[in-house]
Amino acid sequence: MRARVFVTLKKSVFDPQGQTIADALHSMGYGTVEDVRQGKYFELDLAASDAAQARALASEVADKLLANPVIESYRVEVD
Amino acid sequence: MKFAVIVFPGSNCDQDAYHAATAVLGQHAELVWHKDTDLKGADAVILPGGFAHGDYLRTGAMARFSPIMREVRTFADRGGPVIGICNGFQVLLEAGLLPGAMLRNKGLKYRCEFVNIRVEQTDTPFTGGARAGQVLRIPIGHGEGNYYAPPDVVDKLEENRQVIFRYCASDGSSSDESNPNGSVNAIAGICSERRNVVGMMPHPERACESALGGTDGLVILESIVKAFAPA
């Protein structure tokens, strides 16, 4: 099964790269882009029997390695 | 005394730290490869600057899986003095030996320049020879030195006097201009609760000889040497 993990800085943590990208978009005339958060994207191929197991496994490795819980949060999608 | 300088694939200040410990301070030092499982009887451990494991995933994130880090953790748990400089500080954060994390510098630029830092605490093995309030001119070289910890953790660091270096101007005053990377509370270096593990972004080993543009880094390495000097 495949899991996708999206890691971004927590809402409470300032994202200087996302802010700079938002500023750049504004200078290009995209004033309707209100905010940008930059992050990382991982594709995991998992030996898991069902979606629940895949989700649990992906969440576990995200907690332990893919994201730094001090500054980052993550979201998992499974298909 | 004897230093162990840990060498990760991608470390690039290991030779500078080794040189400072041996040629400048006249002490023994051993370069210890990250796959080694023995600190060779060292009295103090230096995690040097660089880009351990290529900074893959996050700065310092992969180094915690290097076999030698198990020994470094055991050494630190026994109260042994450990200093992480720049990338070494990032490794200590990712390994959980110090609290917090590093964000990209506020201005997004890699900053490579001399900065001033104020010594806030002198009761650590690496600041014992300095004066409280002493201003040291020491270079930095980093893109991710914007120290962050959640507010409750920062409060605890301040309460426990674990902030040992703060970015400042040459007169010792702090302002946004004197903070090169946006670190919370202008934090340039912290110590563990037990005070034996120290992490700092500036490079004292790059400021140990006048030929390098300054000698203000000496007091940090001399402090640890004095701590081990025969009475």
Q: Which chain A residue has its CA at the smallest distance from B106's CA?
A: A16
| Number of C-beta neighbours around residue A73 at 10 A | 16
Quick one: pLDDT band at residue B231, thresholds 50, 70, 90?
low
Chain A hits for B145, CB-CB cut-off 8 Å, are: none
- Closest partner CB to A17 (pick from B61, B100, B108): B108
Distances (CA, A) of B179 to B38, B140, B188, B197: 38, 12, 9, 23
Q: Which CATH architecture has domain B2-228?
A: 3-Layer(aba) Sandwich (3.40)
Q: What are the pLDDT digits (tens) for B121-150? A: 999 999 999 999 999 999 999 999 999 999
Q: Which of B34, B203, B208, B222 is catalytic?
A: B203
- Summary mean pLDDT of chain B: 96
Q: Decide if B86 is catalytic.
A: yes
Q: What are the pLDDT digits (tens) for A1-60? A: 999 999 999 999 989 889 999 999 999 999 999 999 999 999 999 999 999 999 999 999
Structural domain harbouring A64: 2-78
User: Considering chain B, what percentage of its residues have pLDDT values greater than 70?
Assistant: 100
User: Residues 6 or more apart from A30 whose CB is under 8 A from it?
Assistant: none
Average pLDDT over residues B32-60: 96
Chain A hits for B101, CB-CB cut-off 8 Å, are: 68, 70-71
CA distance B11 to chain A (A): 21
Average pLDDT over residues B87-97: 97
Q: In CATH, what number is assigned to the domain containing residue A51?
A: 3.30.1280.10
CA distance A73 to chain B (A): 14
Structural domain tally of chain A? 1
Q: Decide if B203 is catalytic.
A: yes
Q: Decide if B142 is catalytic.
A: no
Chosen for mutation from A15, A70, A72 (greatest number of chain B CBs closer than 10 Å) is A70
Tokens of B167: 């970015």
* CA proximity to B207, closest of B126, B138, B142: B138
